[in-house]
Amino acid sequence: MDRRKRKAWRWAAASSAIVLGFSGIGATASAQVGASAQAKGPAPMWFDRQNCEKDSAKSYNPKDEERNTIGTYALDLTETHKLTKGKKATIALIDTGIATNNNNLNPALTGASFGAGVDLTGGNNFRVDNDGHGTADASIIAAQPGKTRSFSGVAPEATIVPVKVANEEPQENADAAAIRAYKQSLAANLVKGISWAANNPSVDVIAIPIAGDSSASNDALKKATEDAISKGKVVVAAAGNSENRRGGSSSPSATSTSSASSSENMRYPAGYEGVIGVTAADSQGNVNESVVHSDAVKLVAPGQNMIVANGATGICLTSTQAPSTSYATAYVAGVAALVKARHPRESGRMITYRLLSSANRASAASSNKERGWGFVNPYGAVTMVDDGQIPGPTSPVIQRLKPVPTVGSKVPPEPHDPQGNGRKVGIIWAGAGVGLTVVLLILAAGRSRMALRPREADDDADNAKG
């Protein structure tokens, strides 16, 4: 499981690059926590072993000089939230459960909508999170806004259905057999979790912040993922963190991971066709060696310096040393919920297409192994008009017209505007309305003249008699 995972990087909808500095937020706290752990022995398994202390009630609030480096603030969602906040869209979060304290949620999640989930680990309680990772991801998606709270979720009105597939990791000093058993259990539960979500009619989006290397791919996992897509679900999965990380939080995984330069980079289920594989940007908006580069990558999203719910009580800043594709996956799942809520009748494939085609990228017609189709663009995905001519991914609905070359012409075509078709339609209707008004006025004038003619004839006859 991958995990390290406004105005900060305030992207306008059409912006194509982010350039920011990194101030090393959390470095001092990381050193202090690390020193404490060394003094007390092996650190407890928790989703962030540096900045998010288990059972802590501390609430992180960034200083003004820190805000420009925090991934949570990367994209300004103000305009998008005027159109949709994810209401009536449901996300199945396949993770480690949701933390509660005496059945109370973290303050950041109090008031959020949670559906009936499932615990596939044998504990029969998805409202227990012994790792903290599931709760952190849930807060990225649906944390509730508050006057004194430092963050809110991407889709605060969406419903989350927790699908618990893992408990806490084995201790760092666990033997090889215990680690192997844990990974085998996680891999099996992942298949069950995807199948459960696929067969849940209320689920629109399946978020999978879990990545296994090529050895994790098997017929059962592939079939479960394909079934979910065929049933109209939007499947969003982590494209993977590499071994070349610079510290920070980590998370359990179904298998071991390889370096970003490995020839066997594909992570699963992100690598299956139709899945939105998500990579994570660092504090400068770049995709570096801390994450895997592969054909599984379809979108980039914020993944470093993320503000999250810390268990059932606190709020902390995680993934300070390196980006995490887990958190980026939760972010994109939230955006998918925003789009689904705005376009409830559209298929999962169409929602996926909206997310990919609207992403901000340098080359509109191509993707690559580092950034996929580009940086996720919530407002663009919500407002895009599909006319079949947007460069990039192929529309599942409208067939793209083949360009007809003009002999001898050197005039380049105008860049495609995905919102332009809607504007053109509006202009056409406006013109048609004006034309119709003119016609009606002419007809009305004609009828008035016809009505006057009999009266004029009668007056003429009376005058002749007189």
CATH number of 250's domain: 3.40.50.200
pLDDT of residue 49: 81
pLDDT of residue 407: 60
Q: Which of 383, 411, 437 is the last residue of a domain?
A: 383
Cβ-Cβ contacts under 8 Å for 181 (sequence gap 6 or more): none
Query: pTM of the predicted model, to two decimals?
Result: 0.78
Same domain (yes/no): 76, 216 = yes
Contact 8, 20 (CB under 8 A): yes
Does the annotation count 133 as an active-site position? yes
Does 436 reside within a domain?
yes
Pick the catalytic residue from 30, 326, 357, 367.
326
Q: Is 238 exposed, middle or buried (0-12, 13-18, 19+ CB in 10 A)?
A: buried
How many domains is the chain built from?
A: 2
Same domain (yes/no): 97, 220 = yes
For residue 265, give both structure tokens: 């980079």
pLDDT of residue 427: 52
Does 177 reside within a domain?
yes
Say which amino acid occupies 82: K
What is the mean pLDDT of each successive set of 10 residues along the chain, which is 466 residues long?
A: 40 28 28 36 68 94 93 97 98 97 94 97 93 97 93 98 92 86 93 98 97 86 98 97 56 47 75 98 94 96 98 96 97 98 98 98 95 98 93 90 62 59 52 57 56 49 47
pLDDT of residue 6: 38
Pick the catalytic residue from 48, 113, 119, 133.
133
- 59 DSSP β-pair partners: 315
Geometric angle at alpha carbon 139, from 138 and 141, rounded to 5°: 70
Does 3 reside within a domain?
no
Does 342 reside within a domain?
yes
Other beta carbons within 10 angstroms of residue 455's beta carbon come to 9
Same domain (yes/no): 433, 307 = no
Contact 304, 331 (CB under 8 A): no
Does 193 reside within a domain?
yes
pLDDT of residue 97: 97
pLDDT of residue 447: 57
Does 308 reside within a domain?
yes
Burial 189-205 (b: 16+ CB within 10 A, else e): bbbbbbbbbbebeebbb
Pick the catalytic residue from 95, 119, 137, 386.
95
Does 11 reside within a domain?
no
Same domain (yes/no): 322, 457 = no
pLDDT of residue 362: 94
Geometric angle at alpha carbon 168, from 167 and 174, rounded to 5°: 125
Q: Which of 359, 383, 407 is the last residue of a domain?
A: 383
Distance separating the N- and C-terminal Cα atoms of the chain: 106
Same domain (yes/no): 362, 430 = no
Q: Which of 321, 354, 383 is the last residue of a domain?
A: 383
Distance between CA atoms of 318 and 369, rounded to whole angstroms? Answer: 26
